[in-house]
Structure formats: structure tokens, C-alpha cells
Amino acid sequence: FSSQGPTRVDLAVKPDLTSVGVNVLSSISCVGAEECAGDEAWAFFGGTSMSTPHIAGSAAVLLNLHSDWSPAQVKSALVNRADLVIKDAKTGLHNIGPTAQGAGRENLSVAADATTWLDPVSASFGKVTVGHPTSETITLFNPTGSNQTFRVSVTKFNPSTFGNTVSSIYDAGTLSAGDSRITVPASVTVPANGSTTLTVTVNAAHGDTAQGWITLDGHGSNDLHFAYYAHVSP
């Protein structure tokens, strides 16, 4: 709908995430008892105005469950534990990139169990120059009493090849047009009651964008992911 990215000025990843927004039963405005009788005060709508209340309500639920969470923790729980399940309405394929779905569709039940938070919730590189490696740093916070270790992998988004997940890339060789080299550590450990940083570096060849998702595969169900986006200029 109206919230597709990237942002116009700094080319940041947007939206952060998505939610239900099509064929949503909602109230409509009416005046007086005669105009508001029965089911006439309800109708089905679609758009950002329908998905936004779902996100706001989910945030309220998380704050009720975890009154000690900060707004940043609520945001990270919703964004970084979302589901990458969005399909193209015309083709039915999973070929919707981070500038259309962000980290994916919210999953409230999974977000409620978050034990690690990211800041920022995505890696926005903005404009990068070909042949000049550019890095973004994500801080991971762990308020639990145990160390948390994650395996790190990269999913590069390309509408024709989406779903091709590769492990950490250290030497991708010669890059062809439209390719990008994304470097991340093979793993990262967040100390108990502490924090650490994860550096993502993009070294892009000629092409329009370098985009996709970084996945942090933790113990059990403690998995997170975040979107990255870079606009490549000569």
C-alpha cells in the first residue's frame, strides 16, 4: 500500500514489518440512529490504515505482558521475530523484498518470547559506491543470565532467485553486474546480561540495489533476522 520503501532521502529500509491489512472488518462513520442501524456501521477495508492498528495492538499486548520492556525492545521483538511469508499477489511467489515487507509479517506469539533485542532493527546502508566497502553495525542486547550464540547467514533478495540462502561470505570472487558481496561473521555470541555488536559489510558491483535479510540462528526457537538495503552508485 502506501508504506513501501526505501525512504526518499536517506534510502533506509522501510517498512519495518507488515501485518494483516486486506479485507479487514472495521467500523465506519455514521450519523444518527437511523444511519447506524444494524450491521450498517461495519464494512471491509484494505490498506495501511487497517494494518497499522494491528501493529499498535500487538505493541500494547507486549507491554501488558512485559511491563519492563522499553519501546525499542517492543519494536525489535515485533520486527526481528517476524515471519518472511509474504507472497506476490499476482504470481503467488515469495518474491517480495525488504522494501515491500521489511522483516516480514508480525508474529505476536513469537515476539512475546523474545530474549534478545537488536538496535537498530535493520541495516540501512543508503547510497554506496562501487568498489568501496561500507559497513553498518547492529547492537545485540541479552538481558538473560546465559550467553546466547547465533549462527549468522545471509539471504540475498532477487525476485528471480529468492530463497537462495548462503552462509557467511568471505571471498565471493569476481562479481558480475547486479551482484553484491555481503560479509558477516560466521557466528556471534552475546554475553549474559550484556551486549555485543554485529558488523555487516557490503561491497557491491554495478547494479541497482543490494538487499535481503541477515538471519541469526539461535538455540531452540531463539531465532532473529533483520533486513538490509543498499543503493549502489558508480
CB-based contact 102:51 (threshold 8 Å): no
- Edge to edge, what strands does the sheet with 180-183 contain? 117-119, 134-142, 194-204, 180-183
pLDDT at 3 over 90: no
Region of poorest pLDDT, from 66-75, 119-128, 172-181: 172-181
53 versus 96: the higher-pLDDT residue is: 53
Alpha carbon 54 to chain centroid, angstroms: 16
pLDDT class for 98, splitting at 50, 70, 90?
Answer: very high
**CATH architecture of the domain formed by 24-233:** Sandwich (2.60)
Q: DSSP letters of 148-174?
A: EEEEEEEEE--TTTTT-EEE--S---S
Strands 165-167 and 187-190: unpaired
What pLDDT shows up at residue 163?
47
> Which pLDDT score is estimated for 173?
32
- The domains of the chain are located at 24-233
Q: What is the DSSP letter of 42?
A: E
The pLDDT assigned to 14 comes to 93
Q: Which of 57-71, 106-120, 154-168 has the lowest mean pLDDT?
A: 154-168
pTM of this structure: 0.85
Range in 1-10, 69-78, 114-123, 219-228 the model is least confident about:
1-10
For the segment 173-220, what is each residue's pLDDT rounded down to a tens digit? 333 345 568 899 999 999 999 999 999 999 877 666 889 999 999 987
- Residue 22: pLDDT band with limits 50, 70, 90: confident
Q: Which residues contact 115 (CB under 8 A, 6 or more apart)?
A: 142, 143, 144, 148, 222
Residue 132 confidence (pLDDT): 86
Q: Residue 29: is its pLDDT beyond 60? A: yes
35's grid cell: 444511519
125: which 3 cell numbers?
Answer: 546502508
Residues in the chain, overall count: 234
Grade residue 137 by pLDDT with cuts at 50, 70 and 90: very high
Residue 107 has pLDDT above 60, yes or no: yes
Q: Could you tell me where the DSSP H helices lie in the chain?
A: 32-35, 48-65, 71-80, 98-101, 108-111
- State the Rg of the chain over Cα: 20
Average per-residue pLDDT in the chain? 84
Residue 94 has what pLDDT? 63
